[in-house]
Structure 1
Amino acid sequence: MTALCQYDSLMSYNERPGNAQAAGRRKEKRHQVEIQHYSPLVGMFRELTQALAAANGVAERLLAPEGQTLARWTFLDTLSEGPISVPAVARRLRQTRQSTQRIADILVEEGHLLRLPNPDHRRSPLYACTASGREVLERLPDAVAEWYSFLGTALSLDQIERLTELSRSLRLAAEEFTEARLSREAALTGN
């Protein structure tokens, strides 16, 4: 099924009204575009956004008594494989370097991380878990055990595996799209 829709927000930055680079290319304020499966995709993204917000909200409430957040837990978990730099953590978690650095600084202040010299980059230290950080990392799964147990009864193992598979497919598609778009933009600008 193909849907015909009018949109503003789906236009690329260079096509948006008011953008100086697009002034010569604009034909009209609203564009019509044919997008296959448009309505189901909007519904899918709405459900994904709401599901993630709800799940993250539960996790945040359960982690709060431990003095931690989901972002801190995710950062500590990333370090469980060994010392790593903030830019590497940010890339892995698909976060900005600045927000990742803020979390690293908090965890250092709390004594959960150590800054170590980075032999590959003088200005970008490596971070490693301290004994306190490893203790927090071991304790946090207990804080969300009730939530995980509830999910284990609300969803079948087959549903969990299918959701994991579909989430991975969506992530890979997003990465492929981003890479292709960046390549096109680089080709257009000569970079």
Structure 2
Amino acid sequence: MGPLPYDLRPLMVFGACRDHTGVVDQGDLLAAVELQAQLGSAVRLVEAGALTENEIREDLILIGGNSLTGSVLERLDGVLSLGFAENGSSVYDRKSGFAASPRYDDAGEPRVDYGLVIRAANPFAPETAEVVVVAGCGSHGTAAAAEAFDQAEALGGYRHFEALVETTVFRGSHRDTFVREARGIA
């Protein structure tokens, strides 16, 4: 039997590191490893800038703040009540007005970080594909968002949802991750 004519594995999409070195961000890598373990299936890895018009209409897993994540969040703007501030420095809740910003110690080291987990119909192909977004204000928030993806009880058991995730950072590692708010979306 030959290979399938169409690869059904979801696309896991990365962007370049936030400091523009071309290296993938550490939090994005941790998120990818975590999601791969949770999904238990193979994915196709691709850089956001290398996607074709057809590929953006497939099942997507968007890791971190890349160009496609921004486009997807823009297209879901009327659906979501959680989102990132324009510069990505905080997560805001349109319903309550709450803004969650990372906190740092006196030396400038992160102590608390936030992330978003979203599962929705892919806005580029809403009838046929889904999109998962795990992204954070910082690297720790992105990795924590991926960990929270499989917390079905905390996420309310919704098929499509948005969730604000909070994590404590201690000695350069995130710990004590929890879902602060989860809502079903249409």
TM-score where L is the length of structure 2: 0.27
TM-score where L is the length of structure 1: 0.26
Bigger strand share: 2
Bigger helix share: 1
Greater relative contact order (Cα 8 A, min sep 6): structure 1 or 2? 2
Greater gyration radius? 1
